[in-house]
Amino acid sequence: MPELATLAVFTVAAVTLLVVPGPAVLYIVTRSVDQGRAAGLASVCGVHVGTLVHVAAAALGLSALLVSSATAYHAVRWLGAAYLIWLGVRRLLAKDEPSGSVKGPHPSRLGLGRIFAQGVVVNVLNPKTALFFLAFLPQFVDVSRGSVPFQVVVFGVAFVLLGLVSDGSYALLASTGAGWLRRRPRVARSSRLVSGGVLIGLGVTTALAGSRSSNA
């Protein structure tokens, strides 16, 4: 079991990393603005279920295998980039929600289950998350404190809990103005275009960032 002092230092470092907007935060914000608070919170839960997959992979040593294999790393990177771009294109092609239709389902609106599942996939296919658990988290592991996999799980679960709070705050803040946006067709249309563009931009950035790092 990690020492409380070590866990406290890890918490400060993790919070610092979590509050800086990255691909997961931007994905959560776009979902929150597009469909409101419930969708934003569903995306938060999905993203961090995806994080738990990385926690399990790190505990089992699979993250090290991913990073050590260039083929596996680039395969995951391109899949993640393609998935984000696909989500962005779907958002750009979606029809605008009719003004004043605040009740009832709309064909372009995704169910919470699908939003949750997309959040899981977005973070599972994010190789940067695997790199975080390989390069950053092990700095806090002390082999003299017992089982290394157990310590990784403890730190990973702490990271997920902190992420639920920080990303949940982003979702709540972003969804605050969602109703106002939906009552203004022109602003809502701009929001759809911006959110679609952000998702596509995230996909392109993921692809190019990996290419630059491999050439460095």
Rounded Cα distance between 95 and 153, Å, is 43
As a whole number of angstroms, the distance between CA 88 and CA 193 comes to 9
Cα distance between residue 6 and residue 145, in whole Å: 11
Burial of 11-33, coded b for 16+ CB within 10 Å and e otherwise, reads: eeebeeebeeeebbbbbbbbbbb
Distance between CA atoms of residues 73 and 59, nearest Å: 18
Reported as a single tens digit per residue, the pLDDT across 146-167 is 777 888 889 999 999 999 999 9
State the Cα–Cα distance between residues 23 and 123, nearest whole angstrom: 9
Query: Crossing angle of helices 185-215/23-35, nearest 10°?
Result: 170
pLDDT tens profile 118-140: 899 888 887 667 777 776 777 78
Choose from 53-62, 78-87, 199-208 the range with maximum mean pLDDT.
Answer: 53-62
**Residue 171: both structure tokens together:** 């979702």
Please report the pLDDT score of residue 47 as a whole number.
93
Output the CA torsion 25→31→33→37 (10° steps). Answer: -100
Using CB atoms within 10 A of its CB, is residue 206 exposed (0-12), middle (13-18) or buried (19+)?
Answer: buried
Single pTM value for the model: 0.69
pLDDT tens digits along 18-51: 887 777 888 898 888 888 889 999 999 999 999 9
